[in-house]
Amino acid sequence: MNYFRTALLLAGLTALFMGVGFLIGGQTGALIALVIAAGMNLFTYWNSDKAVLSMTGAQEIDERTAPDVFRMVAELSQRAGLPMPRVYLMDNPQPNAFATGRNPENAAVAVTTGLLQHLSREEVAGVIAHELAHIKNHDTLIMTITATFAGAISMLAQFGMFFGGNRDNNNGGMGIIGTLAMVILAPLAAMLVQMAISRTREYSADELGAQIVGKPEWLAAALQRLESAAHQIPNDMAERNPATAHMFIVNPLSGQRMDNLFSTHPATENRVAALQELARRMGQSGGFQGGARPAQAQPTPSRGPWGGGGRRSGPWG
C-alpha cells in the first residue's frame, strides 16, 4: 500500500511540474520543464549522497576507528540481506541518524555522536535497522527525486511571476491574478507532496526496521528518546541546511507533533503505536509499555562500547 501511495504522489508531482511549465510557456514550456527536471535528476542521482554527507559534516569511519558501531551496522546489514554500507559519524550533540545513496550498493548510514552518547545499544540497533530499511526500500532515491521536482516547480513558478503576468488575457494567457495564484500554490502543492512521501516512507521503514532488528520495542523506545532530545538539543547543522531535515529519523529542526500534511515526519506517538501493534503481532506485547525513559548519557564514543574494546556479538542474537 505504501508503494502504491508513493507512486500516486510521484505521479501527481510530475503532473504538477508539467502543468506549471505549460501554464508558463504552453507545450514548449512543458517540454523545457521536463528537460530541466531530467537534468537535475541525473545530477542528483549520481551526487546526492556526497552532497548530503558534505552538508552534514559527516566523516567516514571503519572497523579500526569505531569497531563496535561498524560491526553493528555490518551485522544488521547481513540480517537485512544488504551489502555493507559505508558508515559515517557526525560530530553533533543531538541524537539522530539518516541514510543516503542511490541504491543499496552505493549506500551510506550516518549517525551523530549524540546518538551513541544518549541511547542504549539496543536503541541504537533499532535506529540503524530503521535506516537500513530505508536503503532496502530505495527510499533515499525516492526522496532525492521528489525534492528535486519540488525545487524545480518552485523555480518555474518564480519564472511565471516574471513572464506569465505580461501575457494578454484576451489571447488565452494568464493574467496577473492567475500568475500570482500559480506562484503561491504550485510550490505549496509540491511541498505537500514531498512531505507526504517522506511520511509514508517513515511508517514503512519503522516496520521493516523493527523486523530486521527483531525487537519493535527497541525502535519505539529510541524514537521517544530522539523526539524528546530534539526539543532540548539544537542541531545547528540542520538549521543551516534545512533541506536535509526530511532525511533524519526524527525532525531535527522543530518540535512539530501534528501528523498532518505540513510535517516532514509522522507524529512520534503514531509511529510508536504502530510499533506496539507490530510487537503484539510478533508476540512481544509484554516487552514495552510506552513512555520515554529518562535520558542517561552513555560513555563517549572514544572510551565507551562504541569506540574500542573487544568484539561483541550484538544484542539481537
Domain membership flag for residue 202: yes
In terms of Cβ atoms closer than 10 Å to its own Cβ (0-12, 13-18, 19+), residue 257 is middle
273, amino acid identity: A
pLDDT of residue 254: 63
Q: Which of 276, 258, 286, 268 is nearest to 224 (CA)?
A: 268
Distance CA 284, CA 213 (A): 13
Domain membership flag for residue 310: no
In the set 60, 105, 122, 131, the catalytic residue is 131
302, amino acid identity: S
| 3-class SS of residue 88 | strand
Domain membership flag for residue 297: no
User: pTM of this prediction?
Assistant: 0.77
Which residues make beta-bridge pairs with 86?
A: 108
225, amino acid identity: R
Domain membership flag for residue 303: no
Domain count along the chain:
1
- Tens place of pLDDT per residue across the chain (317 aa): 556 766 776 777 777 778 777 877 778 878 887 787 777 767 777 887 888 898 889 999 999 999 999 999 999 999 999 999 999 999 999 999 999 998 899 999 999 999 999 999 999 999 999 999 999 998 887 776 776 676 667 776 766 666 554 444 444 444 566 666 666 777 777 777 777 777 888 999 999 999 999 999 999 999 999 999 998 998 988 888 777 788 899 999 865 555 666 677 899 999 999 999 999 999 876 554 444 443 333 333 333 344 433 333 344 44
| 3-class SS of residue 307 | coil
pLDDT of residue 63: 94
pLDDT of residue 313: 39
Assess whether 105 carries a catalytic annotation: no
Domain membership flag for residue 302: no
Q: Do 27 and 229 contact (CB within 8 A), yes or no? A: no
Domain membership flag for residue 225: yes
Q: Which domain holds residue 234?
A: 2-284
Domain membership flag for residue 312: no
Instruction: Give the CA angle between residues 253, 95, 200 to the nearest 5°.
Output: 60
pLDDT of residue 169: 46
Domain membership flag for residue 226: yes
What cell was used for 81?
540481506
Distance CA 53, CA 109 (A): 10
What cell was used for 47?
551526487
pLDDT of residue 18: 80
**CA dihedral angle for residue 243, residue 113, residue 109, residue 289, rounded to 10 degrees:** -90
| Pairing relationship of beta strands 97-101 and 86-90 according to DSSP bridges | unpaired
